[in-house]
Amino acid sequence: MPSDEQILVVPESLLLSIGELSGFCRDIDRFLGPILASGQLVFRPRGEMESDPSFKQLIPYVILQHVDERGEVRLFTYTRGAGQGERRLHAKRSIGIGGHISQEDAAGGGDLYLTGMRRELNEEVRIETDFAEHRIGLIYDPTTEVGRVHLGIVHRLELSRPDVRPNEEDIAEPAFLSIAELKAERDSLEIWSQLCLDSLY
């Protein structure tokens, strides 16, 4: 991705004015409503924002969940290839699909955030089944270089069938794994996926 891509960010000062946020937070309405209605969301060059923690990049993070015929919850998981935008996450296993909201997402009017979330999802995977969508939490991880500049908005799509195909080569080794299987390989997951796994399952 070009470093001058204009991406949606929120000032850290706005987050701090709402409350303390660290790790996985289920109280999504407390933060997200005020953030989206604040008038303080701005587009800034991605290259600058990757090293400026005074702004947080808003990142939709979408978990694809299927409950099989035995009632076992399975999550779509994949390994991030070298072409994925965030170089600091390459070769990590993930249970979340998502990426930046860009200025192009504002072109058609309507809900900027939702437009960006759906664009990112459609770019990365092809979902060939019905699903129900739920917005379920926020993630902020100030303990790492990459975590300090990103604010994750976690969605869960509950799929009727496990019919998901990668749209990009960089969505590598795709599979639906059980919670037990994911917990057994927890250390290979990126931090956001670990936080979601620990908090939601």
Cα atoms in the Cβ-side hemisphere of radius 13 Å centred on 21:
29
Pick out the chain residues at pLDDT < 50. 1, 84, 86, 89
What is the C-alpha separation between 20 and 47, in angstroms, rounded? 27
pLDDT at 100: 93
Residues near 128 by beta carbon (within 8 Å), at least 6 away in sequence: 161, 163, 164, 165
pTM score, whole prediction = 0.91
3-state secondary structure the chain: CCCCCEEEEEEHHHHHHHCCCCEEECCHHHHHHHHHCCCCCEEEEHHHHCCCCCEEEEEEEEEEEEECCCCCEEEEEEEECCCCCCHHHCCCEECCECCCCEHHHHCCCCCHHHHHHHHHHHHHEEECCCEEEEEEEEEECCCCCCHHHEEEEEEEEEECCCCEEECCCCEEEEEEEEHHHHHHCHHHECHHHHHHHHHHC
pLDDT at 46: 94
Distance of CA 168 to the CA centre of its chain: 17
pLDDT at 110: 79
What is the C-alpha separation between 64 and 171, in angstroms, rounded? 14
Type of residue at 186:
R
What is the C-alpha separation between 95 and 165, in angstroms, rounded? 14
Type of residue at 79:
T
Q: Which domains occur in the chain, in start order?
A: 6-200 (3.90.79.10)
94-127 per-position pLDDT tens digit? 999 989 999 999 887 778 899 999 999 999 999 9
Report CA dihedral (59, 122, 102, 22) to the nearest 10 degrees: 0
3-17 per-position pLDDT tens digit? 689 999 999 999 999
